[in-house]
């Protein structure tokens, strides 16, 4: 039985086209050369890396592939931007600005700079939809601000930040602007060359590429301190023998995304909307977290009042696992972000938009993707109301709600 997968913001399956592109670079008789080697095998690997760099640049809408540096993941790309910029520009000042809803890849990098290196960080609040206010950014800028880092789209709610406006404020203040584009790359068109963005992070496994590969866009002329020290790889910006199959996979994934985004995005958005409105119509006391319109087309984060989110995720998982029946396949969804859900800590993102603690615990993220079908939505609309009903029938909070209604 194939589970229905609604957790594409956590990770995506590798597309067949990507797998095929990577395979020759993993085969024992294939292109396993070291891109730094001068012999033919090495130069083939080098050429494959450069061709992939062009594909990444094309998806991000940057003119010069030399502005793309391959990293091991989105986290490394974010760390390279935040820590690399802080160390390279500390003579300018020791102040950074970010938002309360960033991924931990940015938040914990900022925390490290504060705790271990004496930098100061301002965490901008967000409105109830998760958006940063340009006025708040203007007010937080200081003469010693060296970097602003605001994500392009949020992983938990899908809310899209006003990057163009925020970047323009930074550009006119002469402050570097980084955006974590891990969730938006491949889902929304990015034309970074026309945007006041200096640094942007992406990750392979969020757009149908492999895990273990990411990239950082570094606008020409922007200086960063390297995080890894060793050989002169990636033009001295990131030492270490390159992950050639991974880079080839990321390039192939970017090429597929560029080709299909205009047709795939509306198709996925339509299914997401049907799922969202269908659940809200069928189940009482369901609330949307995130922006109603300025939001990724694949994401919906819903609070099911009086339901424990973890129990809902597990019950839905079990619906498929225990029944082992194609009529009732499992549903893979996620409470909060995958990275945070293992900790059972209330989501910092939902806290930041003001969701009360008891409702945070009843919040679940559905993130759809390329492989979902309308039949998946039909099944979800059939199963989820039943599961929520069952969980609520066991909940003392739900009992109280019923009494309140009488
Ligand atoms: C917005 C965002 N930034 C960064 C990351 C980290 O990416 P990676 O898993 O490639 O390290 C994630 C992963 O969930 C993410 O959603």
Pocket test for ligand 1, best of 72, 103, 160, 340 (most atoms within 8 A of CB): 103
Measured distance between the N- and C-terminal CA atoms of the chain, rounded to whole angstroms: 43
How much distance in Å is there from the Cα of 285 to the middle of ligand 1?
31
Please, which pLDDT band fits residue 309 given cuts at 50, 70 and 90? confident
State how far the Cα of 300 lies from the Cα of 288, in Å rounded to an integer: 7
Ligand 1 atom with least separation from CA of 155: 16
Give me the domains of the chain, ranges plus CATH numbers: 4-10+261-405 (3.90.1150.10), 16-257 (3.40.640.10)
Long-range contacts of 122-125 (CB under 8 A, 24+ apart): 122/95, 122/96, 122/97, 122/98, 123/98, 123/99, 124/97, 124/98, 124/99, 124/100, 124/150, 125/99, 125/100, 125/352
Question: Per-residue pLDDT averaged across 20-39, rounded?
Answer: 95
Query: For residue range 48-81, what is the model confidence (pLDDT) as tens digits?
Result: 999 999 999 999 999 999 999 999 999 999 999 9
Residue with more model confidence, 302 or 333: 302
Question: Per-residue pLDDT averaged across 245-269, rounded?
Answer: 98
State how far the Cα of 244 lies from the Cα of 373, in Å rounded to an integer: 33
DSSP string, 159-194: BBP-HHHHHHHHHHHT-EEEEE-TTTTTTS---GGG
How much distance in Å is there from the Cα of 339 to the middle of ligand 1?
8
* pLDDT computed for residue 317 by the predictor: 81
* pLDDT computed for residue 281 by the predictor: 98
* pLDDT computed for residue 326 by the predictor: 28
* pLDDT computed for residue 94 by the predictor: 97
Question: Per-residue pLDDT averaged across 274-281, rounded?
Answer: 97
* pLDDT computed for residue 14 by the predictor: 98
pLDDT surpasses 60 at 29: yes
Please, which pLDDT band fits residue 151 given cuts at 50, 70 and 90? very high
Place of tokens 């993707």: 369
Please, which pLDDT band fits residue 403 given cuts at 50, 70 and 90? confident
pLDDT surpasses 90 at 198: yes
Ligand 1 atom with least separation from CA of 76: 11
Question: Per-residue pLDDT averaged across 267-273, rounded?
Answer: 98
How much distance in Å is there from the Cα of 133 to the middle of ligand 1?
23
Query: For residue range 328-364, what is the model confidence (pLDDT) as tens digits?
Result: 334 556 665 444 444 457 899 999 999 998 889 889 9
Say how many C-beta atoms besides its own lie within 10 A of residue 344's C-beta. Answer: 10
Enter the pTM of the model. 0.94
How much distance in Å is there from the Cα of 181 to the middle of ligand 1?
9
State how far the Cα of 57 lies from the Cα of 321, in Å rounded to an integer: 41
Picking from 64-78, 218-232, 238-252, 325-339, which range would have the lowest pLDDT averaged per residue? 325-339
Smallest CA separation from ligand 1 atom 14, residue: 10
Smallest CA separation from ligand 1 atom 8, residue: 74
Mean of per-residue pLDDT scores for the chain: 92
Residues having CB closer than 6 A to ligand 1 are: 73-75, 78, 103, 105, 151, 155, 180, 182-183, 203, 214, 337, 339
Question: Per-residue pLDDT averaged across 263-267, rounded?
Answer: 98
Residue 339 annotated in active site:
yes
State how far the Cα of 283 lies from the Cα of 267, in Å rounded to an integer: 24
Query: For residue range 110-147, what is the model confidence (pLDDT) as tens digits?
Result: 999 999 999 999 999 999 999 999 999 999 999 999 99
Angle between helices 244-282 and 374-393 (to 10 degrees): 60
Ligand 1 atom with least separation from CA of 105: 4
């Amino acid at each position: 039985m194939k589970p229905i997968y609604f957790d594409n913001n956590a990770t995506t399956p590798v597309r067949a086209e990507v797998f095929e592109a990577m395979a020759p670079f993993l085969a024992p008789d294939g292109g396993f050369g070291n891109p730094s080697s001068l012999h033919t095998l090495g130069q083939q690997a080098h050429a494959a890396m450069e061709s992939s760099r062009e594909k990444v640049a094309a998806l991000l809408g940057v003119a010069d592939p030399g502005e793309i540096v391959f990293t091991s993941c989105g986290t490394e790309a974010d760390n390279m931007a935040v820590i690399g910029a802080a160390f390279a520009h500390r003579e300018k000042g020791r102040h950074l600005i970010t938002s309360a809803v960033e991924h931990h890849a940015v938040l914990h990098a900022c925390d490290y700079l504060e705790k271990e290196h004496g930098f100061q960080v301002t965490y901008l609040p967000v409105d109830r939809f998760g958006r940063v206010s340009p006025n708040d950014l203007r007010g937080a800028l200081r003469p010693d601000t060296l970097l602003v880092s605001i994500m392009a789209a949020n992983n938990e709610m899908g809310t899209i930040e006003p990057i163009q406006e925020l970047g323009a404020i930074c550009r006119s203040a002469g402050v570097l602007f980084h955006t974590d584009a891990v969730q938006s790359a491949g889902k929304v068109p990015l034309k970074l060359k026309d945007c006041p963005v200096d640094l942007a992070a992406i990750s392979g496994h969020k757009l149908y590429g492999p895990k273990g590969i990411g990239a950082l866009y570094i606008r020409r002329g922007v200086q960063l301190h390297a995080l890894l020290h060793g050989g002169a790889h990636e033009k001295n910006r990131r030492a270490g023998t390159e992950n050639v199959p991974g880079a080839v996979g990321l390039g192939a994934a970017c090429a597929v995304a560029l080709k299909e985004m205009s047709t795939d995005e509306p198709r996925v958005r339509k299914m997401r909307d049907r799922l969202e409105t269908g659940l809200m119509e069928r189940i009482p006391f369901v609330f949307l977290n995130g922006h109603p319109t300025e939001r990724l087309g694949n994401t919906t984060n819903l609070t099911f009042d009086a339901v424990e989110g973890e129990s809902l995720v597990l019950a839905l998982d079990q619906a498929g696992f225990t029944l082992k029946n194609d009529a009732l396949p499992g549903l893979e969804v996620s409470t909060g972000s995958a990275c945070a859900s293992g900790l059972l800590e209330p989501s910092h993102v939902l806290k930041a938009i003001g969701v009360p603690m008891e409702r945070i615990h009843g919040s679940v993220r559905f993130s759809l993707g390329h492989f979902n079908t309308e039949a998946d939505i039909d099944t979800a609309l059939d199963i989820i109301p039943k599961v929520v009903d069952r969980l609520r029938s066991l909940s003392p909070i739900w009992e109280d709600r019923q009494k309140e209604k009488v």
